[in-house]
Amino acid sequence: MTTVAALPAIRDGQPAIEVDRLGVKYNLRLTRRNTLRQTFRNLGNRSAGEQDFWALRDVTFRLVHGESLAIIGPNGAGKSTLLQVLAGIITPTEGSIEVRGQISSLLTLGAGFDQELTGRENVLLAGAFLGIEPEDMKRRLDGIIAFADIGQFIDAPIKTYSSGMRARLGFSIATSVDPDVLLLDEVLATGDQVFRAKSKARVLEIAAAAKAVVLVTHDMSWVTEFCNRALLIEKGHVIAEGDPAEVVALHQQHSDEERAAKAAALARAGVI
């Protein structure tokens, strides 16, 4: 049984996020090479279950307001999938998830940008998407534009933006609306040093205001310096959770072991 709930009310002592035995399964038979007809033809095949891939399995954790949680792991581990579940983009296959309060996420904002509208117009559109009154969003507009710092491009169509400019504007919107839960995916790797410093300071302000932050990142210095908890995911499973420095050390150890194993395999094959 799968349960997904976004609960607006926040009561004292309640966690911002509760995830219990979460699982997300994909069917690898639905690919470009396998048509829908072929997929149905194979449904009776006993080996069909072998085509199922669990991107996440048995993931359980809680996050309270005021905590900043880093989700780390190798590429393909399921980190971004977990963030998309928290944002409500993906419905889990099994388990339950509850997110309390207003959620702000670059994942949903980026998907909601209208390519033909200007950056300024998209700020107002994002406000409507987040359920913020138009007049309230207009009052926030100047601050959002100033923080994004994309110059005259704010009045150009979004389709003319670079990926970095889109991320800057999206981050500025997502963090300006006073969210209870902020979800970020590698946004701090975007932009110059000045903007990254501003971004980190903004995230710290949000966490200090008793909000909850979930961040997927490959920047281990960010994890150890600014997050108070870390979650290591490998092959869809939670391997470790707790002190950021300890979890990062385990992640780096596993990464070193994986590189050594690959090098040894290539050496045995005579490639190197």
Segments making up each domain of the chain, as ranges: 1-34+50-101+212-261
CA atoms within 13 A on the CB side of 108: 20
* Tokens found for residue 200: 């980190």
| Cα–Cα dist 82/62, whole Å | 13
Q: Do residues 50 and 220 lie in contact, with contact meaning Cβ atoms separated by under 8 Å? A: no
Instruction: Give the bridge partners for 232, in sequence order.
Output: 72, 240
Mean pLDDT, consecutive 10-residue stretches, the chain (272 aa), reads: 53 81 85 50 51 92 92 94 91 94 74 87 87 90 94 95 87 86 76 79 82 90 89 97 97 94 87 68
- Write phi, then psi, for 268 (nearest 5 degrees): -65, -30
DSSP one-letter code for 45: -
Helix (H/G/I), strand (E/B), else coil: 21? strand
Tell me the CA distances in angstroms from 231 to 47, 70, 172, 267, one per residue in order: 34, 6, 26, 33
Q: How does strand 17-27 pair with strand 94-100? A: antiparallel
Beta sheet of 181-185, edge-to-edge order: 103-105, 181-185, 212-216, 68-72, 229-234, 237-242
**Angle formed by the axes of helices 163-176 and 119-129, nearest 10°:** 40
1-34+50-101+212-261 maps to CATH 3.30.420.40: no
CA distance 36 to 42: 10
Tell me what pLDDT residue 46 has.
46
Angle at 78 between CA 77 and CA 80, to 5 degrees: 125
Residues forming beta bridges with residue 22, ordered by sequence position = 59
Distance CA 7, CA 150 (A): 35
Dihedral in degrees, nearest 10, Cα atoms 159, 165, 167, 171:
-120
Cα–Cα distance measured from residue 123 to residue 242, given in angstroms and rounded to the nearest whole number: 36
Q: What is the pTM of this model?
A: 0.78
